[in-house]
Protein backbone atom coordinates (compact mmCIF):
# COMPACT_ATOMS: atom_id res chain seq x y z
CA UNK A 1 0.00 0.00 0.00
CA UNK A 2 2.79 2.44 0.87
CA UNK A 3 4.49 1.61 -2.42
CA UNK A 4 1.39 2.71 -4.37
CA UNK A 5 1.11 5.91 -2.34
CA UNK A 6 4.71 6.74 -3.24
CA UNK A 7 4.07 5.96 -6.90
CA UNK A 8 0.95 8.15 -6.82
CA UNK A 9 2.90 11.01 -5.21
CA UNK A 10 5.65 10.78 -7.85
CA UNK A 11 3.12 10.71 -10.71
CA UNK A 12 1.24 13.67 -9.19
CA UNK A 13 4.50 15.61 -8.87
CA UNK A 14 5.45 14.93 -12.47
CA UNK A 15 1.97 15.91 -13.63
CA UNK A 16 2.25 19.19 -11.72
CA UNK A 17 5.59 19.96 -13.37
CA UNK A 18 4.09 19.35 -16.82
CA UNK A 19 0.69 20.96 -16.28
CA UNK A 20 1.33 23.83 -13.84
CA UNK A 21 0.05 27.05 -15.40
CA UNK A 22 2.58 29.66 -16.47
CA UNK A 23 1.20 33.07 -15.59
CA UNK A 24 2.63 35.76 -17.91
CA UNK A 25 2.24 38.32 -15.12
CA UNK A 26 4.75 36.32 -13.08
CA UNK A 27 7.24 35.39 -15.80
CA UNK A 28 7.08 38.13 -18.47
CA UNK A 29 8.71 40.75 -16.27
CA UNK A 30 11.62 43.18 -16.52
CA UNK A 31 14.82 41.09 -16.51
CA UNK A 32 16.64 43.83 -14.57
CA UNK A 33 20.01 43.02 -16.10
CA UNK A 34 22.73 45.38 -14.92
CA UNK A 35 25.63 43.09 -15.85
CA UNK A 36 26.28 39.57 -17.08
CA UNK A 37 25.64 37.14 -14.23
CA UNK A 38 25.86 33.38 -13.83
CA UNK A 39 23.36 32.35 -11.17
CA UNK A 40 22.64 29.01 -9.53
CA UNK A 41 19.17 29.04 -11.07
CA UNK A 42 19.96 30.68 -14.40
CA UNK A 43 21.83 33.42 -16.22
CA UNK A 44 21.57 37.11 -17.09
CA UNK A 45 23.15 38.56 -20.22
CA UNK A 46 23.29 41.99 -21.82
CA UNK A 47 24.16 42.33 -25.52
CA UNK A 48 24.36 45.17 -28.00
CA UNK A 49 21.58 45.45 -30.54
CA UNK A 50 18.20 46.91 -31.33
CA UNK A 51 14.95 45.62 -32.80
CA UNK A 52 16.56 43.80 -35.78
CA UNK A 53 18.81 41.84 -33.39
CA UNK A 54 15.79 41.08 -31.22
CA UNK A 55 13.90 39.75 -34.27
CA UNK A 56 16.84 37.53 -35.23
CA UNK A 57 17.15 36.25 -31.66
CA UNK A 58 13.40 35.56 -31.59
CA UNK A 59 13.73 33.33 -34.68
CA UNK A 60 16.69 31.48 -33.14
CA UNK A 61 14.90 30.92 -29.83
CA UNK A 62 11.67 29.71 -31.45
CA UNK A 63 13.68 27.22 -33.53
CA UNK A 64 14.88 25.59 -30.29
CA UNK A 65 13.16 22.24 -29.63
CA UNK A 66 10.41 22.28 -26.97
CA UNK A 67 10.36 26.10 -26.88
CA UNK A 68 7.32 28.33 -27.22
CA UNK A 69 6.46 31.97 -26.70
CA UNK A 70 4.62 32.56 -23.42
CA UNK A 71 4.00 36.30 -23.78
CA UNK A 72 5.09 39.46 -25.52
CA UNK A 73 6.33 40.36 -28.97
CA UNK A 74 9.16 42.14 -30.74
CA UNK A 75 6.84 45.13 -31.17
CA UNK A 76 6.23 45.28 -27.40
CA UNK A 77 9.96 45.10 -26.75
CA UNK A 78 9.71 42.16 -24.35
CA UNK A 79 9.15 38.44 -24.88
CA UNK A 80 9.20 35.47 -22.54
CA UNK A 81 9.71 31.92 -23.76
CA UNK A 82 9.24 28.53 -22.09
CA UNK A 83 11.72 25.78 -22.92
CA UNK A 84 10.99 22.36 -21.47
CA UNK A 85 13.51 19.63 -20.74
CA UNK A 86 13.31 16.61 -23.00
CA UNK A 87 12.45 13.83 -20.57
CA UNK A 88 10.84 15.37 -17.52
CA UNK A 89 9.34 18.50 -19.04
CA UNK A 90 10.79 20.89 -16.46
CA UNK A 91 10.08 24.47 -17.63
CA UNK A 92 12.77 27.12 -17.96
CA UNK A 93 11.76 30.71 -18.69
CA UNK A 94 13.77 33.17 -20.77
CA UNK A 95 12.83 36.82 -20.98
CA UNK A 96 14.34 39.04 -23.68
CA UNK A 97 13.83 42.78 -23.41
CA UNK A 98 14.87 45.65 -25.65
CA UNK A 99 16.29 48.48 -23.56
CA UNK A 100 17.67 51.48 -25.46
CA UNK A 101 20.44 50.11 -27.70
CA UNK A 102 20.87 46.71 -26.05
CA UNK A 103 19.02 43.50 -25.23
CA UNK A 104 18.64 42.07 -21.76
CA UNK A 105 18.23 38.31 -21.38
CA UNK A 106 17.22 36.54 -18.20
CA UNK A 107 16.96 32.73 -18.33
CA UNK A 108 15.88 30.88 -15.20
CA UNK A 109 14.38 27.68 -13.95
CA UNK A 110 11.02 27.32 -12.25
CA UNK A 111 11.49 24.22 -10.12
CA UNK A 112 14.51 23.23 -8.03
CA UNK A 113 17.45 25.09 -6.58
CA UNK A 114 20.11 24.82 -9.30
CA UNK A 115 19.85 24.30 -13.04
CA UNK A 116 23.32 22.75 -13.43
CA UNK A 117 24.27 25.24 -16.15
CA UNK A 118 21.46 24.32 -18.54
CA UNK A 119 20.20 27.89 -18.99
CA UNK A 120 23.71 29.27 -19.41
CA UNK A 121 24.51 26.71 -22.11
CA UNK A 122 21.23 27.39 -23.91
CA UNK A 123 21.67 31.19 -23.87
CA UNK A 124 25.31 30.98 -24.95
CA UNK A 125 24.24 28.69 -27.80
CA UNK A 126 21.63 31.21 -28.92
CA UNK A 127 24.12 34.06 -28.75
CA UNK A 128 26.67 32.04 -30.75
CA UNK A 129 24.05 31.42 -33.43
CA UNK A 130 23.20 35.13 -33.40
CA UNK A 131 26.86 36.09 -33.93
CA UNK A 132 27.18 33.58 -36.77
CA UNK A 133 23.96 34.73 -38.50
CA UNK A 134 24.38 36.96 -41.53
CA UNK A 135 23.38 40.58 -40.99
CA UNK A 136 19.85 41.21 -42.17
Does a structural domain hold residue 76? Answer: yes
CATH of the domain at 99: 3.30.310.80
| 73 vs 1, residue with greater confidence | 73
Question: pLDDT tens across 36-45, in order?
Answer: 999 999 999 9
Does a structural domain hold residue 13? Answer: no
pLDDT of 136 reads 52
Does a structural domain hold residue 5? Answer: no
Residue range of the domain that includes 110: 23-132
Question: pLDDT tens across 46-98, in order?
Answer: 999 999 999 999 999 999 999 999 999 999 999 999 999 888 889 999 999 99
Does a structural domain hold residue 18? Answer: no
Does a structural domain hold residue 47? Answer: yes
pLDDT of 135 reads 67
pLDDT of 75 reads 95
Model confidence band, residue 31 (pLDDT cutoffs 50, 70, 90)? very high
Does a structural domain hold residue 17? Answer: no
Domain count, the chain: 1
Does a structural domain hold residue 1? Answer: no
Q: Give yes or no for a contact between 96 and 61, defined as CB atoms under 8 angstroms apart.
A: yes
| pTM higher than 0.85 | yes
C-alpha distances in Å from residue 13, one per residue of 44, 48, 86: 29, 40, 17
pLDDT of residue 112 exceeding 70: yes
Does a structural domain hold residue 101? Answer: yes
Amino acid sequence: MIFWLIVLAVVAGLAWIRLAPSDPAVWNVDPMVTADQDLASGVRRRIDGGAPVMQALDRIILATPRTELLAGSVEEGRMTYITRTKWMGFPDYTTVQLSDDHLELYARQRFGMADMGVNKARVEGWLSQLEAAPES
